[in-house]
Amino acid sequence: MAALIAENFRFLSLFFKSKDVMIFNGLVALGTVGSEELFSVVAFNCPCSPARNYIYGLAAIGVPALALFLIGVIWNNHTWNLVAECHKRGTKNFSAAATFLLFGSIMGRATVAPITWSVISLLRGEAYICALSEFVKPSSLDKFPAENGAEVLAKFPCRDVPANLTKFRDEVTRRLRYESQLFGWLLIGIVAVLVFLTKCLKHCCSPLSYRQEAYWAQYRSNEDKLFRRTAEVHSRILAAKNVKQFFGFVALDKEEKELVQEFPVEGVQPSPQWNAITGVYIYRENKGFPLYSRLHKWAKGVEGNGPTPEGHELLFLAS
């Protein structure tokens, strides 16, 4: 148990440090596996009662998957960029292809954890056995006592059955686990094929060369790191100035004093500038030169979000 908890805390630590999409998705999958194992050990407890088994079994698979999906949508930066875009500018600048690409990116990342949860649940089989044991036809079991029906079959996942029904319980459990694992492997195969086709389609439709796309990814990562780091320093210095103005002095440590002396902050950026660098960004070029982000476009003094006579919109979303 301690190992599982430590594994999940380690996953959370790596999760917030990871920027690479493949590493990000891998960490999400590993964290989901550890969480599912912990859930099975601690929380899963089949009621072994007719009508309740089915609801409980499906809920054990579906409800955590739904929660993980919503968390994935919430934690995706594209979601809030889309909200900001719709609030500030509307969707008039997006074509159907761009909108599909954006939602596909959000949904694709958000489904990593719920699919992993569903696959692990199906491969383990406990929830599937709990949900469907009562629906096994007694006639499909050789020499199954006719006086026993769904009420007895519903108790098979709990192993709370008379000794003369033990062999039937083992057969039902084995049959349902086979079906559950078969669905799990099929789901893995379908997802693998879809991921492969999506990657192929992405690279075939990309307007960028492989090297330029790699450069764009490096630029986005560096811009984000530098922006966050600079914003933290800027906000700290501005806060120190405001606190000093209110109290007449400000208690700073040595590092903060050096920051205040090294980086003079006169004020804050006006709202139009923040709005200009916030929102959905799809790769664009202006007079043949690439614009790698909204900040890059603002720095170059390019106005608007849509294609212009001297600018060219390329429907390729930052992943």
Of 83 and 300, more confident: 300
Domains of the chain, by residue range, sit at 37-205, 210-300
pLDDT score of 109? 87
What average pLDDT score do residues 280-288 get? 81
Tell me the two tokens of residue 241: 């100035």
- The SS3 call for residue 317 is strand
**44 neighbors 89 (Cβ within 8 angstroms):** no
Can you give 187-235 as a three-state secondary structure string?
HHHHHHHHHHHHHHHHHHHCCCCHHHHHHHHHHHHHHHHHHHHHHHHHH
Q: Sign of dihedral through CA atoms 21, 92, 200, 181?
A: positive
Q: What's the pLDDT score for residue 87?
A: 72
Mind listing the pLDDT tens digit for each residue in 16-61? Answer: 444 455 555 565 666 665 665 555 545 778 888 888 899 999 998 8
d(CA 4, CA 234): 40
pLDDT digit string, tens, across residues 158-210: 877 777 777 888 888 899 999 999 999 999 999 999 989 988 887 787 778 88
For residue range 114-151, what is the model confidence (pLDDT) as tens digits? 998 899 889 988 899 999 988 888 877 777 776 677 78
Can you give the pLDDT at residue 182?
96
Q: How many angstroms separate the CA atoms of 113 and 180, rounded? A: 19
Reported pTM: 0.70
